[in-house]
């Protein structure tokens, strides 16, 4: 735990086995870092909120994808409003164990895209793949170049799927001080 007020640490503490110098697994706090990468790619003109998944990742698009899946955009993924009834992660991996993007695109929809928010880890995984496609860099490498190195953040570690890609929805390990610095940003 770290409390920062106007750039100054006013309280901090860790519970064993953690310490100030040990990177912590951020679990879902990884998602905002993927969203930052999306924002940077948008700012660089490489991606837009209206870009469709199927256009950016055609190699991950199943041949018989639904019309709704074809309409999904960066905006739907960032807002987790793809239209699924629940988190699609387990279902997507079951459908396509070697390609979670394909599995996500074939998961059944319960609502029209943009209509309902459903917390869905797969949306952030797909965003990570989109960032990688348009930047030509892995998500960890892109964030290292564009966020971590300029901020002086070291020791970022990433858990990865079997292909070597970062999960994007969880798996980032950072020290508490680094999380606080990005939070202030």
**108 contacts: CB under 8 Å, gap ≥ 6:** 84, 85
| Separation CA 58–CA 103 (nearest Å) | 14
* Percent residues over pLDDT 90 in the chain: 89
69-116 residue pLDDT tens: 999 999 999 999 999 999 999 999 999 999 999 999 999 999 999 999
- If you average pLDDT over residues 26-41, what whole number do you get? 97
Minimal CA–CA distance to 125: which of 93, 156, 166, 157? 166
Q: What is the pLDDT of residue 46?
A: 98
State pTM to two decimals. 0.94
- If you average pLDDT over residues 29-54, what whole number do you get? 98
Residue 119 CB-density burial (10 A; 0-12 exposed, 13-18 middle, 19+ buried): exposed
HSE of 48 in the Cβ direction (CA atoms, 13 Å)? Answer: 5
Helix axes 30-43, 121-135, angle to 10 degrees: 40
Is residue 16 over pLDDT 90? no
Is residue 10 over pLDDT 90? yes
Q: In what order do the strands lie in the sheet with 24-25?
A: 24-25, 172-174, 157-158
pLDDT-derived band at 17 (thresholds 50, 70, 90) equals confident
């Amino acid at each position: 735990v770290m409390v920062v007020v106007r750039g100054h640490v006013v309280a901090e503490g860790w519970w064993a086995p953690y310490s100030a110098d040990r990177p912590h697994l951020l679990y879902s706090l990884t998602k905002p870092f993927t969203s930052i990468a999306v924002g940077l790619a948008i700012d660089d003109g490489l991606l837009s909120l209206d870009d469709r998944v199927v256009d950016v990742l055609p190699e991950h698009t199943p041949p018989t994808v639904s019309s709704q899946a074809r309409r999904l955009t960066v905006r739907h993924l960032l807002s987790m409003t793809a239209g699924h009834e629940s988190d699609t992660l387990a279902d997507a991996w079951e459908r396509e164990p070697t390609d979670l993007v394909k599995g996500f695109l074939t998961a059944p929809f319960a609502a029209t895209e943009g209509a309902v928010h459903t917390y869905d880890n797969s949306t952030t995984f797909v965003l990570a793949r989109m960032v990688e496609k348009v930047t030509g860099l892995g998500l960890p490498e892109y964030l290292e170049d564009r966020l971590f190195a300029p901020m002086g953040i070291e020791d970022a570690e990433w858990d990865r799927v079997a292909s070597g890609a970062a999960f994007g929805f969880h798996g980032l390990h950072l020290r508490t001080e680094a999380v606080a610095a990005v939070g202030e940003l």
